[in-house]
Amino acid sequence: MISLSRELGEVYAQKLGDPVRAIAAYQRLVEHAPDDVRALKELDALLAEQDRSEELAGVLEARVPLAASEREKATLLLRLAALLEERLDRPEDAIERLEAVVGIDATNETALGSLERLYQGSKQWEELARAYSLHLEATEDPDVQLGLYRELAEVQLERLDDPNLAIETLESAKKIDPTDVAVLDGLATLFEAVESWQQAKDTLDRLVLLA
Question: Can you spell out the DSSP letters for 34-65?
Answer: TT-HHHHHHHHHHHHHTT-HHHHHHHHHHHGG
Model confidence pLDDT, tens digit, residues 52-63: 999 999 999 999
Enter the DSSP assignment of 65. Answer: G
The answer to whether 183 touches 146, Cβ cutoff 8 Å, is yes
Residue 97, Cβ neighbours under 10 Å: how many?
26
**Rounded CA gap, 71 and 164, in Å?**
39
Summarize pLDDT for 137-193 with one digit per residue, the tens.
999 999 999 999 999 999 999 999 999 999 999 999 999 999 999 999 999 999 999
From CA 124, how far away is CA 126, in angstroms rounded?
A: 6
pLDDT of residue 79: 98
pLDDT at 90 over 70: yes
